Amino acid sequence: MTLDPDVAAIVKQRMRDRNVGFKQALNDMLRESSAPPREPFRTKSRRMGPPRINLDKALQIAGELEDEEIIRKMRMGK
């Protein structure tokens, strides 16, 4: 087996850190990389209440705000 230099450096570091041989370090790394995640990531949701603006026109509002910012920058010479 031939390892890329960066991978070989990682294995050597693992050998030094854990005071194990090449075979043990490589096997441990392979086992760790193939192990399933311990706990899946979950995003917590929160109630935000009713919308304060009509969301049907959200893109129109965003466009108008962007236009205003472009005009402001043009007037400042940017």
Write down the mean pLDDT value for the chain: 89
Q: For residue 2, give both structure tokens.
A: 């031939």
Q: Is residue 9 part of a domain?
A: yes
In angstroms, the CA 21 to CA 18 distance is: 9
Q: Is residue 68 part of a domain?
A: no
Mean pLDDT of 19-34: 91
Q: Residue 54's pLDDT is what?
A: 76
Q: Is residue 67 part of a domain?
A: no
Q: Residue 12's pLDDT is what?
A: 95
Q: Is residue 47 part of a domain?
A: no
Domain that holds residue 30: 5-34
Q: Is residue 63 part of a domain?
A: no
Number of domains observed in the structure of the chain:
1
Q: Is residue 20 part of a domain?
A: yes
Q: Is residue 74 part of a domain?
A: no
Q: Is residue 56 part of a domain?
A: no
